[in-house]
Amino acid sequence: MKIERYSAWELDHSAPITPQVTRILRERVIKNDLKPGDRISESEVASTYDVSRQPVREAFIKLADQGLLEIRPQRGTIVTRIGYFAVLDARFLREAIEADICKILADARSPDLIAELRAQLARQNALDRQDADGFIQLDDLFHRTLAEAAGKAGAWRQIEGLKSQMDRVRYLSLGEFRVDTLIAQHCAVVDRIEAGDIAGANSAIRFHLREVLKDLPQIIEANARFFDLPDGDMPPPVNAPIQGGTIA
């Protein structure tokens, strides 16, 4: 397929090229600008961004390791379909990590953190409800802030690498995004952290991170050709029960 140039995805040629090409292509796959099944080539990408093929080849390898590209020797490179189990596994691991992060924060009860999170919630509420892409960026900022405040910035970087498939699902569901519901869930997390309610913070973040599972069957039905389902069917996700605390 022909790769168009987007101003938001242009390179800074004074900075290292491989990380930029990797980031740009990753974003384009996640945002479904490059769709599952699309074919891309080193030469096209190199020409589009006016770079040599070596950094593009390295970017392809990194993205293949993340499950976003499939490199087929002698047959080209394609954007992978979204793996159903990859989505569930990423969400499961993210829940486990962020639940512990919220327990740490509820135990510490930092007024500065609460002030920052309340300011972020105000920005989320002020956002145009049709700007789902903008909300996803604010949502990522919210969760990254939690991780960094708990001293787990490294864990967040691991989460970012894991959640690529989840993010592809989120961008497929932009038209169905329940922003008000997600903001209310963010508020519940902040309330429980501010109250020092360790069990409640754990419960609130787990409840929030399971929201994607509610819409997953409908998203798959509407975009079946983009998904890799086990034996062509969709088994129900399996979750551990949410333990302890109440969500106000």
Count the domains in the chain: 2
Structural domain including 185 reads 83-232
> Tokens at residue 247, please?
């969500």
Are residues 67 and 13 part of one domain? yes
Q: pTM of the entire structure?
A: 0.84
End-of-domain residue from the set 61, 80, 99:
80
Average pLDDT score over the chain: 88
Q: What is the pLDDT of residues 219-239, one digit of tens each?
A: 898 898 999 887 756 666 656
CATH code, domain with 219: 1.20.120.530
List, in sequence order, the alpha helices (H) in 109-178.
Answer: 111-126, 132-149, 153-162, 164-172
- pLDDT tens by residue, 27-38: 999 999 999 999
Contact 125, 117 (CB under 8 A): no
Tell whether 223 and 117 lie within a shared domain.
Answer: yes
Two structure tokens written together for 178? 């329940």
For residues 12 and 60, membership in a common domain is answered with yes
Question: What is the tens place of the pLDDT at every residue in 48-91?
Answer: 999 999 999 999 999 999 899 999 887 889 999 998 988 999 89
DSSP string, 167-207: HHHHHHTGGG--HHHHHHHHHHHHHHHHTT-HHHHHHHHHH
Are 28 and 123 within one domain? no
CA 65 to chain centre: 16
Count of CB atoms situated within 10 Å of the CB of 104: 17
pLDDT tens, residue by residue, 116-131? 999 999 999 999 988 8
